[in-house]
């Protein structure tokens, strides 16, 4: 009886480890072969796992403000590239380039590069 319970517990632990390691595809949420850019004011920066997020308020030519949600890398990926919770601050003017969401009404993107023109800060791809 105890050996069966042990086998079940070990099997469950192995299966839960496999599902924790699995990752979803961005292709279901973003159009990865397209690139868009937005410019605006940073409203929120949340560095966390499994993905960090940046919220940017963009003002269009008619003065209408729209908030964009930008999905970014996880804590380890970002910290290894020099990003920490102090890198971006609310009010920073930023330009973000990335893959747009599949539903344009969602105003979201998968962040590929980020620039802060005020001090020349750049993260990501070479697109500026």
- Beta-carbon contacts of residue 25 (< 8 Å; ≥ 6 apart): none
Q: Please count the residues of the chain.
A: 128
**Tens digits of residue pLDDT in 40-96:** 999 999 999 999 999 999 999 999 999 999 999 999 999 999 999 999 999 999 999
Q: Which two tokens stand for residue 89?
A: 């601050």
Give pLDDT, residue 23. 53
From 79, 71, 76, 82, select the one nearest 45 (Cα to Cα): 71
- Beta-carbon contacts of residue 92 (< 8 Å; ≥ 6 apart): 41, 42, 116, 118
Instruction: Work out the pLDDT band at 126, boundaries 50, 70, 90.
Output: low
Tell me the pTM: 0.76
């Amino acid at each position: 009886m105890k050996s069966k319970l042990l086998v079940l517990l070990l099997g469950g632990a192995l299966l839960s480890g496999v599902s924790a390691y699995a990752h979803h595809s961005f292709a279901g949420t973003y159009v990865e072969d397209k690139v868009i850019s937005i410019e605006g004011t940073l409203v929120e920066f949340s560095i966390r796992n499994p993905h960090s997020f940046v919220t940017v308020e963009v003002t269009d030519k008619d003065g209408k403000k729209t908030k964009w949600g930008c999905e970014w890398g996880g804590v380890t990926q970002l910290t290894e590239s020099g990003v920490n919770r102090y890198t971006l601050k609310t009010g920073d003017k930023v330009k973000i380039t990335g893959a747009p969401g599949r539903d344009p009404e969602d105003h979201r993107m998968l962040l590929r590069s980020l620039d802060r023109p005020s001090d020349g800060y750049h993260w990501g791809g070479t697109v500026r």
